Structure 1
Amino acid sequence: MRYILLLSLILCGLLARGLCEDSGEVDSIIGGAVAAKGQFPYMVYFRNQVTGKLFCSGTLITPYKVLTTAWCFPSFLPSVPITAWMNTVSLIPDVDRVVRAVVRVVRAPDYNPATGMHDIAVVTLDAPVTFVPPVRLGFGLYFNSGLSAGIVGWGYSGATQLTTYLRSSYITIQPKSVCMTAFGNPNFGSQFFICAASPGVGSCSLDAGSPILLNGYQIGISSQARCGGGEPVVGVDVRSYEAWIKSNL
């Protein structure tokens, strides 16, 4: 699924630097429940201001910076206006929402869309967000397979996007071999990735950039998934990028 979507983005990029959104398939956290207001205030969704639609997710990590995937932003400076929306659980604009413009994107220098390696980016906002608490990054956390983590994302479904809400679900950390086998990619066994899966739980393309959480700390960034309940979710392990992230704050 991710490879089909990647091809779509490449084709889209000919017109708008890849900042397009799919309009015909269900792209959401599979399973779980609607998040409570204020539960994940740091959750960001990126909106293409030309189409008015969501295309990726992220997390506020400082007043000026958002953590997401490199796959979401083919360019360091988007050619169409992009905004970051946060402090809300609904795609319907509400009074508490916070909106900032995206002014710069820094991707990991070794990012390789063909292999999925180093799929991480830091986005700069045009003004600080001082009243929304950023997510805490789990740089020093140790975890292994069998632990229960959380995934969070925007339930997006084509033309019904404005009636959908932020969803969260529990998911189990798996041996990396599970993701290596599922995607046929040996790179997913490296230190740079987390693998997670649970029956009836999953994420989709527009959840790219959303967090994998452990005890309130972000340990991963959703990078690849197949849009089905029970399908593995490949996450970028933020611990492997501690120095790079800090150098771009």
Structure 2
Amino acid sequence: MREKLMVATRGQTHRATSRAKSTHKTGGCDLVQQKDIKWQHTQRTTNETQNNMWRGLLILLCCCCCCCLTSCLEDQLQDSKIVNGTVAAKGEFPYAVSLRRSKSGHHSCGGTLLNAGWVLTAAHCVRSANPQDVNVQYGSNIIARNATQLATVQAIFVHPGYEPQNKHFNDIALLQLQQPLILDALVQPVRLPSAEQMTLANSSVVLAGWGLNATGGVVQHQLMKVQLQAFSDQDCSNLHQVQLHATQLCAGVPEGGKGQCSGDSGGPLLLAGSDTQVGIVSWSIKPCTRPPYPGVFTEVSAYVDWIVATVATAPNNDPATSQLWIGELIVARVPPPLVA
């Protein structure tokens, strides 16, 4: 064992000595190699620096291109989101409100202010809801989940004759707010038509809402509007190939491509150039605005008496929440306060 160990030690010593001699003899070559290695290292560092510079320039160019592309796409999206209409001006529809799910803050339907304490909407929007399930965003064209102008609902009044299976017959409802709103330039009541007032065929009407821009599209955060024409009851029934109710109104354009979609339900149809609401968005054939089918609305004039009776019988002593603007009249349960 010792012999083997000594032999191994001698062998290692011999190899180490040989390496030392060899190094001593070739010292000049090692120096040249070291210089060559240093030059290669310097060259490699220079190349890497240049590559990094080019890489940085390429990244910068890519960022610029992406910014330009994003800007172009945003422009296209801005155009695409008003396929069915145009953006409403601030304060153009101060009575338009968004009905939201209280827990999520998501827009579900449209509605209109009748006065400081009541909202008009469609029955199918709220027929299964409790007052605490819904809140109302008001006073703004832009809807947002974190909106601050929100009103809570005290009571929901769905028309007792609502029949969803019968072509949404009597598709109308009222929401009584917990607290009256403060009216200003951006918060105003809508005008109701006179009871049984007819909307003539081919009348120019305007639809306002935050609904989808197309079937499968997205809810609009900016209030939109679109100009349509009213159809006669008979023409509408013929186009839908079903007899519609006399308390329903149709509006659209013959060529299609403009009108209501999901999310517009409960919102207003107004006589063009006025604040008179003649219809409430009820239903339409899908995909949205498909020709030749015009959208179907609840005709408000057929329900003015029901609206007046419902507001009048609800427990409330505030004149601001009992007055209604009907035709050229202010109808109120109690006289409005005198202006000094």
TM-score, normalised to structure 2's length? 0.59
Quick one: distance in 2 between partners of 1:100 and 1:60? 12
Q: CA deviation at 1:160?
A: 5.7
Partner of 1:89: 141
CA shift digits 1:128-157 (9 cap, x unpaired): 113121101112544310111110110447
Quick one: distance in 2 between partners of 1:46 and 1:62? 16
Partner of 1:43: 96
1:63-212 to 2 correspondences below 5 Å: 63-75=116-128, 77-78=130-131, 81-92=133-144, 98-115=149-166, 116-131=168-183, 132-139=187-194, 141-156=197-212, 161=219, 164-186=221-243, 188=244, 190-198=245-253, 199=255, 200-212=257-269
Residue pair 2:211, 2:261 contacting (<8 A) in 1 also:
no
Residue pair 1:76, 1:107 contacting (<8 A) in 2 also:
no
Distance change >3 Å, CA 30–CA 178, structure 1 → 2: farther
Quick one: distance in 2 between partners of 1:170 and 1:248? 31
**Larger-Rg structure:** 2
Distance change >3 Å, CA 193–CA 29, structure 1 → 2: farther
Quick one: distance in 1 between partners of 2:238 and 2:232? 11
CA shift digits 1:98-137 (9 cap, x unpaired): 3101221111111101011101001111111131211011
> Aligned-residue CA RMSD in angstroms?
2.4
Distance change >3 Å, CA 146–CA 156, structure 1 → 2: closer
Quick one: distance in 1 between partners of 2:193 and 2:310? 17
Distance change >3 Å, CA 156–CA 86, structure 1 → 2: farther
Unaligned residue ranges in structure 2 (runs of 5+)? 1-80, 312-340
Distance change >3 Å, CA 107–CA 242, structure 1 → 2: same
Quick one: distance in 2 between partners of 1:202 and 1:30? 10
Quick one: distance in 1 between partners of 2:82 and 2:290? 9
Quick one: distance in 1 between partners of 2:269 and 2:92? 15
Higher RCO (CA < 8 A, seq sep 6+): 1
Quick one: distance in 1 between partners of 2:259 and 2:90? 22
Distance change >3 Å, CA 54–CA 29, structure 1 → 2: farther
Q: CA deviation at 1:244?
A: 0.3
Which of 192, 216, 223 is the equivalent residue of 2:275?
216
Q: Please state whether the residue corresponding to 1:58 is helix, strand or coil.
A: strand
Distance change >3 Å, CA 125–CA 172, structure 1 → 2: same
Residue pair 1:150, 1:213 contacting (<8 A) in 2 also:
yes
Partner of 1:245: 307
Give the aligned length: 217
